[in-house]
Amino acid sequence: MPRPILATVHTAALRHNLQRLREAAPGARLWAVVKADAYGHGIERAFEGLRGADGFALLDLAEAERVRALGWRGPILLLEGVFEPRDLELCSRLNLWHAVHCDEQIDWLAMHKTHQPHRVFLKMNSGMNRLGFSPERYRAAYARLAALPQVEEISLITHFADADGDRGVAEQWAVFERTTQGLPGERSVCNSAAVLRYGQDGALRGDWVRPGIATYGSSPDYPAHTAEQWGLRPTMTLSARLLAVNTVAAGGRIGYGGAFTAEQPTRVGVVACGYADGYPRVAPTGTPVLVNGVRTRTLGRVSMDMLAVDLDPVPDAVLGSEVTLWGVAANGATLSIDEVAHAAGTVGYELMTALARRVPVVVQD
């Protein structure tokens, strides 16, 4: 039999989360963000759960080709735009919309020969300080684009740096609103946290929202809010089985470096999951895990192919018992990926996208 580890993609949960996000931003059209291979879920596996979106947003031209190959004929947006002039040829052929964030991308458009004018999203750096034109240069960039016969329509876009935190969006939103006043074009500003926290504001939510991590059942502002509090459902489950059950005597140490020492005789399960599967090596003792749907904890260091769990809270656990590293157990119990990520000092995004190729994946509605 194959090694007992499995990732499950839940398409019904994807549909549910899309609907929840629509409710949070009534009247706005919604991008399904599928960058990083649909946040590790796989574009082809996630597509059925996401096809109710109004468009797909991503980074990679190859991913755009995959979405078109699945039969999608609606909008596809390249969130970082094109990376070299010849990319515009594929944009024309596949009818891709694309961001414009620098002068060079405008230059490439000006030189591009096309019979089909492009829909572009002009990006403003309103405070994130990654990509985009400064507010002082934004209107001039807009004017350059508007003068090009290669450009059919210009939309306006920015990205919030602190929508999930105490600083919020007010400062960046004021910059964006002031700079774009009077400019025609649809607006897109809201990421996951902005949709959930501010999406009821009709002006701020704009014409298009682009929630990423929330679509995949992870809270964008954990631990301030859990996914459950936001009404989101897990879209990925990582599960495995117990390879062994041992009793470690008091004083016995577990794993590399003996990072955990048993204070009393302890039943320990060895799980068929390690950092080569995408589970975080830095997850400390105490990281939550479910065994037979019962909450318990990891013990000691995570190895390449195995990790240890405390079976004292799960007296019925035996060789082959189910272990849920995150997601939904067979009995319906749920362990949020955010909780696991938080224990490991990271975020749910990283765990999803780090799922290793060697882990088999199935799709379940």
Query: Would you report the helix, strand and coil content of the chain in percent, each value rounded to 5?
Result: 30, 25, 45
Report which residue type is found at 119: R
Q: Are 239 and 8 in contact (CB under 8 A)?
A: yes
Buried/exposed code over 262-292 (b: 16+ C-beta within 10 A; e: otherwise): beeebbbbbbbbbbebbbbeebbbebbbbbb
* Nearest residue to 210 via CA among 58, 10, 94, 49: 58
Given the residues 35, 123, 138, 275, the one annotated as active site? 35
The C-alpha atoms of residue 353 and residue 363 are separated, in whole angstroms, by 17
256 is catalytic: yes
The C-alpha atoms of residue 230 and residue 267 are separated, in whole angstroms, by 36
Instruction: Report the run of H or E that residue 20 belongs to, with start and end.
Output: helix 11-24
* CA count, 13 A, side-chain hemisphere, 153: 7
Which DSSP letter does residue 41 get? T
Q: Are 118 and 150 in contact (CB under 8 A)?
A: yes
Spatial neighbors of 49 by CB under 8 A, at least 6 apart, are: 9, 10, 11, 12, 13, 14, 15, 18, 235
Given the residues 39, 138, 256, 279, the one annotated as active site? 256
Q: Are 358 and 276 in contact (CB under 8 A)?
A: yes
- Burial (CB < 10 A; 0-12, 13-18, 19+), residue 88, is buried
Q: Are 241 and 61 in contact (CB under 8 A)?
A: no
Spacing of C-alpha 72 from chain mean position = 21
Residues labelled catalytic: 35, 256
